[in-house]
Amino acid sequence: MEADWPEIERANREKRRELVLQGPAVEQRLEQADGALPPALFSLSLLNYLEVSRCPSLRALPAQLPLLQQLHSLVLRRNGLQQLPAGLGGLGALRLLDLSGNQLLELPVELGQLRELTTLNLSGNRLQSLPLELRRCAKLALFNVSGNELSAFPRGFFGPELALLSTLAASDNAIEELDADVGLLPALKSLDMSNNRLSEIPAELADCPKLKEINFTGNKLKDKRLEKMMNGCQTKSVLEYLRVGGRGGGKGKGKLENLEKDHIKEKERKKKREKKQKKDSGDGEEDGVEEANKMLLRILHISENPAPLTVKVTPNIKEVRPYIACTVVRGMNLKPGNALKRFLMAQTKLHEDICERRTSATIATHDFRLIKGPLQYDARPPNEFKITPLGRKEIKAKDLVRQLQVEAEEQRKQKKRPNISGLHKYLQLLDGKECYPCLIDAENDVVSFPPITNSEKTKIRKTTSDLFLEVTSSTSLQICKDVMDALILKMAELNKFTLENKEEESISDSETDEVLGLSIPTGHQNAEREGSLHLTLEQVRVVDMEGCLKVVYPSKTDLNMEISYLTIIR
């Protein structure tokens, strides 16, 4: 067994508290064992983080699971699980349970015994009902059941037992009714019920004192006025409508009329803003004004770019980390306030979520002005290349990994830090690799060492406006593209937020909620001036050493979605 599962043997030998089993090699072993996890896994009594993901052969969990009494986090996403053992409820220390992307039809009532659970992700399964006992998870703060087949929440599910529930996501189900008891959730901040079959929204929702974000789009509501408000108004306005109009009393009628007057005034203010934009732009066409109210992202094709960047992939990378997608984004505004910090935090969140803690993919962002092309994506022995990691001095890759391993061991020895953090938690992704992946510029400098770090040489700063983006994966090219799509949309959203908040300082009170538009540069224009409204995406070709195309991003099949605040021009 130790020979078949070296990760488990290593975790046992080094007394590790974290273990990740995922990918083709693990899936192959599970297939050979008829989907059974090895018994040796459940002897790792020190584990507090266990992840087994992307293994369709894993259809059931063994009865020995409760032996892992120290588990704080159990991540079982994207497997083939069809049922859960009742013993899962015996993991008394469990705080996070991620079962997303499986084939679950039902849940054991014993899940209600997880009294320390704060995060429960059941999205992307086939659940048709939920056990009422889940409300006993009194510390639950985030509950995600999006993408299932639910028609309703259990009667009495919402109530004082879930006093800490702050995020409830139930989009893309078949829910026909939202119980009025939802108003009894004192900590609820975010509610997503989009794309269900709701015809009414309980007025009691307005009783949630901390509610800041709601999403009911994609439901056919009887109250068309409310439906329209849901699609276009802020949460505060919708909750006020429910508060004064949803209960239908005569006392609220006057308030409702005042609310409608406010909406009329808002429309008038919007028309004035559009008129001003029309005048400033010099464009007399109505569709020009409408387009100015949305961000515009221009995709600059290779043929339009006089100096396109190219990434050459060597054959050495094939067995190490073969997939890569790259692009250039021009026009980001990272100067105001904490715009740069928000961008870095967004990248970290993508690493934790869609990148699955970098096990599926890894993002690297660079200052494009500091990139010397063409680039080469290669795999080299760790003692044969150096890198200057972010915040560190130049060092050989082999010595960097050894240094991080020593630091990780020191973290493990600290009683108050049982879990390793920072770059150290990604070291296991290099286990068993004789060569390490690296991205090398035209000056033979390593600018990226995925999935660990990129180089101080190309570090982005507040003055950076043009960015080179790189996403690599050992799993698939499609994951690279999906992650890149998510990253670019997040960048557009952050740029919009930054520009709006910067603009608010100089406009009148009647224009404080104006939606800014992004004008489009032509050719190879550079949008570097502070406050620029330009945002351009340049295609980058990835080719083999003979120059044959492997991938270009974005292609015509990438970024194919409808975003309310964004118009993509190809």
- Residue 163 identity (one-letter amino acid): A
With a CB cutoff of 8 Å and minimum separation 6, the contacts of 385 are 396, 397, 436, 438, 440, 446
Euclidean distance between CA atoms 246 and 412, whole angstroms = 55
Please report the pLDDT score of residue 457 as a whole number. Answer: 93
Whether residue 251 is predicted with pLDDT greater than 70 in this model: the reply is: no
Label residue 230 by pLDDT band (50, 70, 90). Answer: confident
Give me the pLDDT at residue 239, please.
84
pLDDT score recorded for residue 306: 82
* CA dihedral over 89, 353, 565, 555, signed as positive or negative: negative
Average pLDDT estimate for 311-324: 93
Mean pLDDT in residue range 67-74: 92
Tell which wins on pLDDT, 102 or 511. Answer: 102
**Whole-Å CA distances, 242 to 2, 248, 252, 506:** 61, 9, 10, 34
Residue 283 lies in a domain: no
Q: What does the pLDDT average to over 491-499?
A: 81
Q: Which residues pair with 19 in a beta bridge?
A: 50
pLDDT at 170: 94
- Which tokens hold the place of 346? 């967004």
Average pLDDT, the chain: 82
Judgement on whether residues 14 and 114 belong to the same structural domain of the protein: yes
Which of 3-17, 95-109, 222-236 is most confident? 95-109
Q: How confident is the model at residue 337 (pLDDT cuts 50, 70, 90)?
A: confident
CB 129 within 8 A of CB 154: yes
232 and 307 together in one domain: no
Long-range contacts of 250-258 (CB under 8 A, 24+ apart): none
Does 566 score more than 50 pLDDT? yes
272: in domain: no
- Looking at residue 70, which CATH number applies to its domain? 3.80.10.10
- pLDDT tens for residues 505-536? 443 333 322 222 222 233 333 433 333 456 89
The pLDDT value given to residue 416: 56
More confident residue, 156 or 505: 156
pLDDT at 99 over 70: yes
Question: Same structural domain for residues 120 and 183?
Answer: yes
CA distance 241 to 239: 5
Report the b/e string of 507-516 with b at 16+ CB within 10 A: eeeeeeebeb
> DSSP readout, 193-214?
--SS--S---GGGGG-TT--EE
Q: How many residues are recorded in the chain?
A: 570
Residues 6 or more apart whose Cβ sits within 8 Å of residue 564? none
Q: Is 433 contained in some domain?
A: yes
- 74-82 average pLDDT score: 93
Q: Are residues 327 and 224 in the same domain?
A: no
Per-residue burial over 532-566, b = 16 or more CB atoms within 10 Å of its CB, e = otherwise: bbbbbbbbbbbbeeeeeebbbbbeeebbeeeeeeb
Residue 285 within any structural domain of the chain: no
Q: Which of 255-269, 348-362, 522-536 has the lowest mean pLDDT?
A: 522-536
- Residue 570: HSE in the Cβ half-sphere, 13 Å Cα cutoff: 9
Q: Using CA atoms, how far apart are residues 340 and 17, in angstroms rounded to an integer?
A: 33
- 270: in domain: no
| Closest C-alpha among 209, 198, 86 to residue 152 | 198
Confidence at residue 530, expressed as pLDDT on a 0 to 100 scale: 38
Spatial CA neighbour of 534 closest among 517, 520, 522, 514:
520
Identify whether residues 250 and 334 lie together within a single domain.
Answer: no
CA torsion 411-414-419-424 (nearest 10°) is: 0
Structure tokens, 480: 């690279």
Residues 217 and 345 both lie in one domain? no
Return d(Cα 342, Cα 491) in angstroms, integer. 10
Q: Can you give the pLDDT at residue 58?
A: 93
Q: How much is the pLDDT for 535? A: 80
Rounded to whole angstroms, the Cα distance separating 246 from 244 reads 6
**439-459 tens-digit pLDDT:** 999 999 999 999 989 999 999
Q: Are 372 and 538 in contact (CB under 8 A)?
A: no
Shared domain for 481 and 543, answered yes or no, is yes
- The pLDDT, as a whole number, for residue 513 is 29
Quote the percentage of the chain above a pLDDT of 90: 44
Q: What is the pLDDT of residue 232?
A: 66
Residues 219 and 346 in one domain: no
Give domain status of residue 445, yes or no: yes
Is residue 129 exposed (0-12), middle (13-18) or buried (19+ Cβ within 10 Å)?
middle
Is the same domain home to 56 and 121?
yes
Tell me: do 396 and 535 sit in the same domain: yes
According to the model, what pLDDT value does residue 475 have? 86
Cα–Cα distance for residue pair 101/488, rounded to 1 Å: 24
Q: Is the pLDDT of residue 258 over 60?
A: no
Range of the domain at 336: 297-504+515-569
Q: How many CA atoms lie within 13 A of 405 on its CB side?
A: 12
Residue 257: per-residue pLDDT:
47
Contacts 24+ apart (CB under 8 A), 255-263: 263/229, 263/233, 263/237
User: Per-residue pLDDT for 268 more than 90?
Assistant: no
Q: What is the mean pLDDT of residues 47-76?
A: 91
The residue out of 225, 254, 283 marking a domain boundary is: 254
Of 198, 228, 254, which residue constitutes the final position of a domain? 254
Mean pLDDT of 385-392: 90
**Which SS3 state, helix, strand or coil, does residue 247 take?**
coil
pLDDT value at position 238?
Answer: 84
CA 364, 370, 376, 381 torsion-angle sign: negative
Residue 233 has pLDDT above 70, yes or no: no
Tell me, what CATH number does 347's domain have?
3.50.40.10
Does residue 266 belong to any structural domain of this protein? no
Side-chain half-sphere exposure of 526, counting CA atoms within 13 A: 10
Query: What pLDDT is attached to residue 290?
Result: 45
pLDDT of residue 417: 53
Rounded-to-integer distance, Cα 35 and Cα 534, Å: 52
Q: Report whether pLDDT(279) > 60.
A: no
Q: What are phi and psi of 345, to 5 degrees?
A: -65, -35
pLDDT digits (tens, 9 = 90+) for 173-210: 999 999 988 988 999 999 999 899 999 999 889 888 88
Cis, bond preceding 160 (omega within 30 deg of 0): no
**Higher model confidence: residue 3 or residue 247?**
3
Give me the pLDDT at residue 167, please: 92
Supply the pLDDT for residue 264: 52
Tokens of 129: 């009902």
State how far the alpha carbon of 403 is from the alpha carbons of 125, 150, 166, 430, 500, in Å. Answer: 41, 49, 40, 14, 44
Per-residue confidence (pLDDT) for residue 227, from 0 to 100 = 81
Beta strands in 337-480 (DSSP E): 362-367, 375-380, 386-387, 395-396, 436-440, 446-449, 453-454, 466-473
Number of domains in the chain: 2
- 230 with 350, same domain: the answer is no
Looking at residues 396-421, what average pLDDT do you find?
75
Residues 249, 316 share a domain: no
Which stretches does DSSP call E strand in 219-342?
295-300, 310-313, 323-330
Residue 273 lies in a domain: no
The residue out of 219, 238, 254 marking a domain boundary is: 254
User: What is the percent of the chain where pLDDT is above 70?
Assistant: 81
Tally of CB atoms within 10 A around 468: 27
Name the nearest CA neighbour of 136 among 152, 102, 113: 113
* Residue 366 and residue 470 in contact, taking contact as beta carbons nearer than 8 Å: yes
End-to-end CA distance of the chain: 53
Cβ distance 344 to 481 under 8 Å?
A: no
